Amino acid sequence: MSEQRLSCSELLKLKRWNTPTVYNGWEAITNQDITKGFNTEETRDFMPQMGPMIGYAVTVQIEPGNPAHPRNNPNAWSEYRQYVAGLPGPKIVVVQDLDAPRVVGAFWGEVNSNIHRALGCVGTITDGAIRDLDEMTNAGFKALARRMCVGHAYSTPVRWGCEVEVFGCTVRPGQLIHADKHGFMVIPHEDERRLLDAARFMDDNECDTLIPAARSSSGKPMQELLREIDAAGKQFGIHAKRTFGNSGEW
């Protein structure tokens, strides 16, 4: 992971938006394919009350169903924690469970969440399981995961600092991630710097055009309402195109 690219202030401001709003800003500025860079499979936010999380990816692969891994490298946990500790935060731990979709053990629980919180991690995205949900919540460690389970089985880091795939999305170490109850998205490095301004602009654009048109419908004939919505949609597109060169979703 490179040095932190956005300031603490910028990250906090991005955390105030939900992930769909961040996506709306991103699609207005990116040259990437807007059908990629986010989860294409369903995931579950187990702590939606915490709101969004944002951070830089640290990556690890696990295979809790394989008893050989703890024997093959008895120092894996210590070596992995050295990797996590050596990277700047805030960090989101992206865990690929090689057993998935047959999940047999949880990488995350009360102890591991508290340890990672101490190492500057704010949460995890894992296509495996979590346990100790209340205790993880108490630690302030947010989790998007496949499901919960009872045991940890043979959970141990197998590989780390590598490219992983979770919920149909490829994640590389150091990529900026924004996540909430809707899912998660991975921000291309070249789009980070303009993301906050773009998300703010597109949200303002909606509030200045389409949303007022829809909410001022009381007492209006249906055809008049439809004309006003069409006009608002065109105005939305004009604003976006004038600023970013494309009209966004409208």
CATH number at residue 93: 3.50.30.40
User: How far apart (Å, rounded) are the C-alpha atoms in residues 159 and 226?
Assistant: 55
3-class DSSP assignment, residue 43: coil
For residues 149 and 183, state if they share a domain: yes
For residues 132 and 223, state if they share a domain: no
The confidence score (pLDDT) of residue 2 equals 47
Helix 19-29 and helix 222-244, axial crossing angle in degrees, nearest 10: 60
Least Cα distance to 57 among 131, 114, 4 occurs for: 4
For residues 185 and 215, state if they share a domain: no
Position 44 in a domain? yes
For residues 60 and 105, state if they share a domain: yes
Position 203 in a domain? no
The confidence score (pLDDT) of residue 81 equals 97
Distance between start and end Cα atoms, the chain: 36
Domain containing 34: what range? Answer: 8-192
**Which of 165, 192, 219 represents a domain boundary (last residue)?**
192
Read off the pTM: 0.91
Position 249 in a domain? no
The confidence score (pLDDT) of residue 243 equals 86
User: How far apart (Å, rounded) are the C-alpha atoms in residues 245 and 242?
Assistant: 6
For residues 88 and 34, state if they share a domain: yes
pLDDT of 73-99, one tens digit each? 999 999 999 999 999 989 999 999 999
For residues 219 and 131, state if they share a domain: no
The structural domain count of the chain equals: 2
For residues 120 and 161, state if they share a domain: yes
CB neighbourhood size of 75 (10 A): 8
| Residue 20 preceded by cis peptide, ω within 30 | no
Position 160 in a domain? yes
For residues 143 and 97, state if they share a domain: yes
Position 221 in a domain? yes
Alpha-helical (H) ranges within the chain are 8-15, 19-29, 68-72, 76-85, 110-118, 133-138, 192-208, 210-215, 222-244
For residues 217 and 139, state if they share a domain: no
The angle formed by the CA atoms of residues 217, 223 and 228, to the nearest 5 degrees, is 55
Which stretches in the chain have pLDDT values below 50? 1-2
The confidence score (pLDDT) of residue 240 equals 85
For residues 156 and 229, state if they share a domain: no
Position 2 in a domain? no
Position 204 in a domain? no
For residues 139 and 187, state if they share a domain: yes
pLDDT of 15-47, one tens digit each? 999 999 999 999 999 999 999 999 999 999 999
Helix 19-29 and helix 192-208, axial crossing angle in degrees, nearest 10: 110
